[in-house]
């Protein structure tokens, strides 16, 4: 039987949502010509940090599983 890791699923959902939010923001700016406000720029940095931290945690989690 397949075991479901809820934390891993939550991480993938947050990663997908962060990629979607950042992608839509960049598409709005460069694709449609909207100029972002200062707060929007700060939010983009926050989404980028979340993506980076989740990718690092996924890589370290997979290494731990391989070692077990």
DSSP states along the chain? -PPP-HHHHHHHHHHHHHHHHHHHHHIIIIIT-PPP-HHHHHHHHHHHHHHHHHHHHHHHHHHHHHH-
Average pLDDT, the chain: 86
17-33 residue pLDDT tens: 999 999 999 999 999 99
5-14 residue pLDDT tens: 787 888 899 9
Which pLDDT value is given to residue 28?
Answer: 95
Which pLDDT value is given to residue 62?
Answer: 64
Which pLDDT value is given to residue 9?
Answer: 85
Q: pTM of the predicted model, to two decimals?
A: 0.77
pLDDT band at 59 (very low <50, low <70, confident <90, very high): confident
């Amino acid at each position: 039987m397949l075991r479901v890791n809820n934390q891993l699923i939550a991480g993938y959902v947050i990663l997908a949502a962060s990629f979607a939010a950042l992608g839509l923001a960049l598409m709005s700016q460069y694709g449609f010509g909207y100029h972002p406000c200062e707060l929007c720029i700060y939010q983009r940095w926050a989404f980028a940090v979340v993506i980076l931290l989740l990718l690092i945690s996924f890589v370290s989690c997979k290494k731990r599983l391989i070692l077990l």
